[in-house]
A and B are shown apart, each in its own frame.
Chain A
Amino acid sequence: MSIDMSQFYQAFFDEAEELLAEAEHLLLALDLDNPDSEDLNAIFRAAHSIKGGAATFGMTDMAEITHVLENLLDKIRKNEMALTGEHVDTFLEAKDVLNSQLEGHRSGADVDRDVQEEVKRKLKALSEGKPVSAAAEMASAAPASAPAAPKPAAAAAPAAPVDKMRHYHIDVKALSEKDTANLEGELGLLGEVSSKRLDNGHVAFSLKTEDSEDDIISICAFIVEPEDIKINLQSDGAAPAAAAGAPADGKHRFNIEVPELSDKDAENLKSELALLGDVSISKAGGKTIFALATEDTRDSIESICSFVVDLDTLVIKDAVDTPAAAPAPAADVAVAASGFIEGDGFGFFEPITPPPPAPVVEAEPPKPVEAAPAPVAEKKPAAVKKEVEKPAAAETTSIRVGVEKVDQLINLVGELVITQAMLEERISKLDPVTHEDLLNSLGQLTRNTRDLQESVMSIRMMPMDYVFSRFPRMVRDLATRLGKKVEFVTSGAATELDKGLIERIVDPLTHLVRNSIDHGIEVPDIRHQSGKNETGRLSLSASNRGGNIVIEVTDDGAGLNRERILSKAKQNGLPVSDTMPDSDVWQLIFAPGFSTAEQVTDVSGRGVGMDVVKRNVSAMGGVIDIRSALGYGTTMSISLPLTLAILDGMSVSLGDNMYVVPLNLIVETMQPQATDIKTVTGAGFMVHVRGEYLPIIPLYSLFNQPTQITNPVDGVLVIIEAEGKKAALFVDGLVGQQQVVIKSLETNYRKVPGISGATIMGDGSVALILDVPTIIKMGQNNNSEGVYQ
């Protein structure tokens, strides 16, 4: 039966990605002086699990790195080696390499071989207790001669050399040039290796290593079938042990005596031994004797035999040339040390006899060995009962679904919401008394629709942790590079945000965090001088506020310098005045090409960015706000709508048309008194609202829409606020508050200034959704004309 392993790849990719992220998280939190052993274990486990999976699914490159990584981690977690900053740095590098390898396997992206080798070398050097830099030198001089980590010796290795270095002779059946090179590379990880192509097509490798035979087999298993490999342990540098005094064919003959074997076991053992060489079987004096001609050592024979018989009862003797001859008295070689029954990559501690295939109740019980399977009759009933009840289902608490499926679902629900609103609209015209039942049912439908919509929208929601988790590493690297001390804290990582937004917020947020470290937080000396803690504090927080998600990047650094920003703005020819409020001054840094950094660093300060940040945030329907105090720090606050697909809006009327104003941008609505309206020369009309004068933006003139109502006193003012600016939007009247499904105008028509999208109203008509920040800007330009009489 063949099983397609590729079907498990996706699961492995996801799992490995999670494990890597988890490992990175733990690494960053490690306290070098006093590492938490649980954390070290968890990191080790992550490497271990990835190695297991990578090896199983044939991703050799990942298995290699995790192998050396695991060895080093193992030493550290067993306290054989003290954890240093260098370790953590290298682990993090290894993590990055693994990530890129993962990406390589997942999407076929290119993986930088040099980086991989470099990390591997570093890890090896570290596990040998050498500093990383020395490893690089050593690597350029000669291939690493010492292996990654000493492992327990292979079963019963005879007289290992004092330095634990052993010399293996590995014979591999028919191997292509490419595979030979690959395998040589793999074996090179363990120690010094050389290869030779033999006349019979086999390839012989000579390997000097401290690692065990198991390690060699598992490394080889990536490239060749384990059955095709023969490994001989050579006494230091000499010819294979078994070959000493062997017959001309290079094979040594053994007689293997085994007591009382069943026919079946004898057959099993024979077939196992046949893997080593030519074998024949005979019986004598209650013993079964196998005559074997092989190039392999006693050890290999023992481990093969032990799979079927107890080693205590096994006798292996050197045979005279004729098979099955009377055994010559030989040294007692029955080694009971391991006592395992070992097969190819598996083994049993004691013989296990499978129960008869058919569930016969009166079956002869298997050998009364403690650990043998229980008699069928004893345990069957319970098992049978359960099996009927519960078919073996995969134990999963989550399913993975393509985003497009979810989007389609959201779209359909959107249509449903529109249909439902339409129904509501139609039915509202009916007589409520005669159609009471219908109205009740519709009320039910409305509630259900809303619940459905919320549930569906929540599918797309992801915790902010998805974004936050990538920052600790970045902050650490950056702070180190800039010689700053930064304590990084996050809060509200569980806050959920639409998947589409989450992915798009990463870049702007990265930029802000970078800025905070580069320009905000000062170097320790300066912080010390200004009486601050040498370690700066950078916090990233997310929270739900109304219908918005507010994400804030706060540092306790130098703060924004008002004077410098103003002078720079003047230089750049931006319209500024010295009396501008702080909030307006801060907004200047979002101007394209604006940078006050005195020195352009490779981190930030090239003047590209803040305008891009702002543009990105605006494109998401969000606004960005700055609070800063010189000497005390800066907070960048990004406010985003919860989702892009559905919007809570206020519909307003203007002439024959309806417009939707996003509810989260409305401060209040009012019908102004004539006395509240003031004319300001050059600034159009203002309205006096609770001590504040706000510019009035008449929507009809902005959009050139005919309407009967041209005096604000007859209409309604909607006070809107975006990007720290307020304005009073003058419309005919308010229609109602409702959720609307956003349809893109750009994809269906083209971008229209002041309009962010469109929606279908309950009566089937189309209403445009206002782009409030742009409208406020447009209003400023428009106001000077004087728009009503």
Chain B
Amino acid sequence: MAKTILAVDDSGSLRQMVAFSLTAAGYQVVQAVDGQDGLNKARDQVVDLVLTDQNMPNMDGLTLIKSLRGMSSYQKVPILMLTTESSDEMKAKGRAAGANGWLVKPFDPKRLIDVVQKVIG
């Protein structure tokens, strides 16, 4: 059974690319346009991995991660930040919020798939 990944990004083109790449790699992808949307979709369906952007309207990535970690069903679901900010500060914030890792933008589809496979096989 294909694993499901929740991809949260306010940029439609990046979201599409993520979704397309991961779908091509055999995953199911649920897309969300911002943190709030991501949270709603995560509630509807417990996914196997969450990939989220940080800088988004309505709800940013860190808040989304914190909110997800507050849900019992998302205690152990891996969450990765997709972000252009790769500063230690941002990483520390991500870690504190409960993220498991990060992927620096820009990335190519191949690397994305590699990383996802490292995390959920």
Q: For residue B19, which residues in chain A have a CB less than 8 angstroms away from its CB?
A: 392, 394
Q: How far is the CB of A453 from chain B (nearest CB, A)?
A: 32
Could you tell me if B1 and A352 are in contact, using CB atoms closer than 8 angstroms? no
A466 within 8 A of B: no
Q: For residue A52, which residues in chain B have a CB less than 8 angstroms away from its CB?
A: 11, 14, 84, 105-106
Contact of B44 among A221, A338, A386 (CB under 8 A): A386
Q: How far is the CB of A451 from chain B (nearest CB, A)?
A: 32
| A 191-245 contacts with B by CB, 8 A | 212, 214, 218, 221
Q: For residue A12, which residues in chain B have a CB less than 8 angstroms away from its CB?
A: 13
A371 within 8 A of B: yes
| B 79-97 contacts with A by CB, 8 A | 79-80, 84, 86-89, 91, 94-95
Could you tell me if B1 and A355 are in contact, using CB atoms closer than 8 angstroms? no
Contact of A53 among B4, B11, B48 (CB under 8 A): B11
Could you tell me if A3 and B1 are in contact, using CB atoms closer than 8 angstroms? no
Instruction: Name 12 extra pairs, CB < 8 A, besides A49-B10, A348-B119, A354-B118.
Output: A3-B24, A44-B55, A52-B105, A152-B87, A212-B87, A347-B101, A347-B102, A373-B76, A380-B1, A383-B3, A384-B1, A395-B32
CA distance A394 to B30 in the complex (A): 8
Please name the residue on chain B nearest to A50 by beta carbon.
B11
A401 within 8 A of B: no
Could you tell me if A57 and B103 are in contact, using CB atoms closer than 8 angstroms? no
Q: For residue B86, which residues in chain A have a CB less than 8 angstroms away from its CB?
A: 214, 218
Q: For residue A15, which residues in chain B have a CB less than 8 angstroms away from its CB?
A: 11-13
CA distance A370 to B75 in the complex (A): 8
Q: Mark B96-117, 1 if CB is under 8 A from A, else 0.
A: 0011111111111111010101
Please name the residue on chain A nearest to B89 by beta carbon.
A152
CA distance A375 to B48 in the complex (A): 11
Could you tell me if A372 and B55 are in contact, using CB atoms closer than 8 angstroms? no
Q: How far is the CB of B1 from chain A (nearest CB, A)?
A: 6
Q: Mark A394-407, 1 if CB is under 8 A from B, else 0.
A: 11000000000000
User: Can you name 30 A-B pairs with beta carbons within 8 Å?
Assistant: A1-B109, A3-B24, A15-B13, A48-B84, A52-B14, A53-B11, A56-B107, A152-B87, A214-B104, A218-B106, A340-B91, A344-B111, A345-B104, A346-B111, A349-B99, A354-B121, A373-B77, A373-B78, A374-B75, A374-B76, A375-B76, A378-B76, A382-B46, A383-B46, A386-B45, A392-B30, A392-B31, A394-B16, A394-B31, A395-B32
Contact of B16 among A8, A152, A380 (CB under 8 A): A8
Q: For residue A384, which residues in chain B have a CB less than 8 angstroms away from its CB?
A: 1
| A 10-31 contacts with B by CB, 8 A | 11-12, 15
Could you tell me if A379 and B77 are in contact, using CB atoms closer than 8 angstroms? yes
Total A-B contacts with CB atoms under 8 angstroms apart? 184
Q: How far is the CB of A364 from chain B (nearest CB, A)?
A: 14
Q: For residue A370, which residues in chain B have a CB less than 8 angstroms away from its CB?
A: 76
Could you tell me if A392 and B4 are in contact, using CB atoms closer than 8 angstroms? yes
Please name the residue on chain A nearest to B101 by beta carbon.
A348
Contact of B25 among A1, A348, A359, A375 (CB under 8 A): A1
Q: For residue B2, which residues in chain A have a CB less than 8 angstroms away from its CB?
A: 387
Please name the residue on chain B nearest to A365 by beta carbon.
B76
Known pairs A8-B13, A11-B16, A12-B13; A383 contacts B105 (CB<8 A): no
Contact of A371 among B29, B78, B105 (CB under 8 A): B78
Contact of B48 among A2, A349, A350, A383 (CB under 8 A): A383
Could you tell me if B46 and A346 are in contact, using CB atoms closer than 8 angstroms? no
Q: For residue B49, which residues in chain A have a CB less than 8 angstroms away from its CB?
A: 373
Q: Which residues of B contact A (CB under 8 A)?
A: 1-4, 10-14, 16-17, 19-21, 23-25, 28-33, 44-49, 55-57, 73, 75-80, 84, 86-89, 91, 94-95, 98-111, 113, 115, 117-121
CA distance A52 to B88 in the complex (A): 19
Q: Mark A94-137, 1 if CB is under 8 A from B, else 0.
A: 00000000000000000000000000000000000000000000
Q: How far is the CB of A609 from chain B (nearest CB, A)?
A: 40
CA distance A414 to B16 in the complex (A): 36
CA distance A57 to B103 in the complex (A): 16
A356 within 8 A of B: yes
Could you tell me if A371 and B76 are in contact, using CB atoms closer than 8 angstroms? yes
Interface centre among B46, B80, B94 (most CB of A within 10 A): B46
Could you tell me if A53 and B78 are in contact, using CB atoms closer than 8 angstroms? no
Size band of the A side of the interface? Answer: 35 or more
CA distance A699 to B32 in the complex (A): 63
Known pairs A346-B103, A373-B119, A374-B76; A392 contacts B23 (CB<8 A): yes
Could you tell me if A8 and B106 are in contact, using CB atoms closer than 8 angstroms? no
Interface centre among B3, B30, B86 (most CB of A within 10 A): B86
Q: For residue B79, which residues in chain A have a CB less than 8 angstroms away from its CB?
A: 371
A391 within 8 A of B: yes
Q: For residue B17, which residues in chain A have a CB less than 8 angstroms away from its CB?
A: 3, 5, 8, 56
Q: For residue A7, which residues in chain B have a CB less than 8 angstroms away from its CB?
A: 20
Q: How far is the CB of A131 from chain B (nearest CB, A)?
A: 29
Q: For residue B76, which residues in chain A have a CB less than 8 angstroms away from its CB?
A: 370-375, 378-379
A75 within 8 A of B: no
Q: How far is the CB of B18 from chain A (nearest CB, A)?
A: 10
- Which 3 pairs between the two chains have the least Cβ-Cβ distance? A348-B101, A374-B76, A55-B106
Q: How far is the CB of B10 from chain A (nearest CB, A)?
A: 7
Q: For residue B98, which residues in chain A have a CB less than 8 angstroms away from its CB?
A: 371
Interface centre among A345, A346, A371, A395 (most CB of B within 10 A): A346
Please name the residue on chain A nearest to B98 by beta carbon.
A371
Q: For residue B4, which residues in chain A have a CB less than 8 angstroms away from its CB?
A: 383, 386-387, 392
A151 within 8 A of B: yes
CA distance A55 to B57 in the complex (A): 21
Q: For residue A390, which residues in chain B have a CB less than 8 angstroms away from its CB?
A: 45
Known pairs A52-B84, A392-B30; A354 contacts B95 (CB<8 A): no
Contact of B101 among A9, A346, A382, A383 (CB under 8 A): A346
Please name the residue on chain B nearest to A225 by beta carbon.
B108
Q: For residue B117, which residues in chain A have a CB less than 8 angstroms away from its CB?
A: 354
Contact of A352 among B14, B47, B118 (CB under 8 A): B118
Could you tell me if A383 and B47 are in contact, using CB atoms closer than 8 angstroms? yes
Could you tell me if A1 and B20 are in contact, using CB atoms closer than 8 angstroms? no
Q: How far is the CB of B55 from chain A (nearest CB, A)?
A: 5
CA distance A371 to B98 in the complex (A): 8
CA distance A344 to B103 in the complex (A): 9
Could you tell me if B109 and A346 are in contact, using CB atoms closer than 8 angstroms? no
